[in-house]
Structure 1
């Protein structure tokens, strides 16, 4: 079934540097999970090695072979993302603007803000991997919200990532604007026996969700310690 021009499918996936339940690093397994999800846009966390030159976990040529391009967020040619946050796009989507954001942190953390044109519409996608500390998570969400308020162009906005926040309506999520919605995607961690929804998709009021969920397949349960979350989103054609 072909989706209308104002509908997209997005996903968020903490790939855990491609280290799976068997303790092996297997980038091709992650790419196969992305094939299963078949999203238009995917925000990744832990997409680069943490030490050394911080090389990309997923080989660039393999991404292309699986039908994805990436937004050039890294300051290093060998890396995929910014503080491990990366954005993958299908070939019918393009990035018209992006911004790297340094977040208040106990340890180095960042967020990405990308304006994406897809099927004739421009959407704003934000990806991040928030702190383990509740105090710093709250500071980080407040910082992202403040940055959004200061952006000149008002766009339908989707915030995705690993929020490290257990409850959907608690903690740092309470600092989101009142008219933003945290989608009921479900429990995504730990992957083999998911109990809590650390991974989130949040939408602005111009957007409604058609479907959302956790991508829980045998392959996904093996590929990372997190399961991906996804949503099909619709935008009013009048917006």
Structure 2
């Protein structure tokens, strides 16, 4: 199973134009089975999806996990999950995180290809103190789920260091996929975007998607990992 994480910056590219079609082009290139998106909803007004729902339905192989927080939005505090149309969504929930500014995460249990997996998408705070509190909150939410499943957590963790902070907190119980730097898209030097896996999953292959479309569609590049069960 291939998973990916992508901060789409509300579909605003390096040319400062909002082009959701470019984001969909990148998603087709990555061709992951499950994708965690950050900054997927617009920031102001009705906070509708930066990727129009009809475009996802008509021009991709994906469907959004229906968190239904606001009409026309894709997720919760900009976090969203896209899954193959062949997938079955067994359970889904928005997760409230401690924060000074609005922050959240999203969780879904997915069945695809006869396998079940728990997926968490997140976009953590700019403050290191709050990032650590949010990391503990995410892990606590996972622990509170009524049944255990192989779990992958993905998102923009806003952690510039390679070690320490929220990364050390996650690292006590989970393993990081070594995907490489993904920010800034034009000249990536920082590993702000991360994929973290728990028991029952093995990371077989990883990467950062560096196509021409990806370098212009957002200020982040998508990261991906091929996972094996068992």
TM-score higher than 0.5? yes
Gaps of 5+ in 1: 1-7
Aligned twin of 1:138: 132
Is 1:10 aligned to residue 3 of structure 2? Answer: yes
Is 1:104 aligned to residue 98 of structure 2? Answer: yes
Aligned twin of 2:12: 19
RMSD: 1.0
CA shift, 1:77, in A, is 1.8
Aligned twin of 2:22: 29
Is 1:213 aligned to residue 207 of structure 2? Answer: yes
Question: Aligned partners of 2:68, 2:165: CA distance in 1, in Å?
Answer: 30
CA shift, 1:132, in A, is 0.3
Query: 5 Å matches for 1:179-194?
Result: 179-194=173-188
Which residue of the other structure, out of 121, 127, 144, is the alignment partner of 1:150? 144
Aligned twin of 2:218: 224
Task: Give the SS at the match of 1:39.
Answer: coil
Aligned twin of 1:47: 40
CA shift, 1:177, in A, is 5.4
CA shift, 1:166, in A, is 1.7
8 Å contact 1:168–1:182 — kept in the other structure?
Answer: no
Question: Aligned partners of 1:208, 1:168: CA distance in 2, in Å?
Answer: 21
Question: Aligned partners of 1:194, 1:231: CA distance in 2, in Å?
Answer: 18
Gaps of 5+ in 2: none
Aligned twin of 1:3: none
| Structure 1 segments of 4+ aligned residues over 4 angstroms from their partners | none
Q: TM-score with structure 1 length normalisation?
A: 0.93
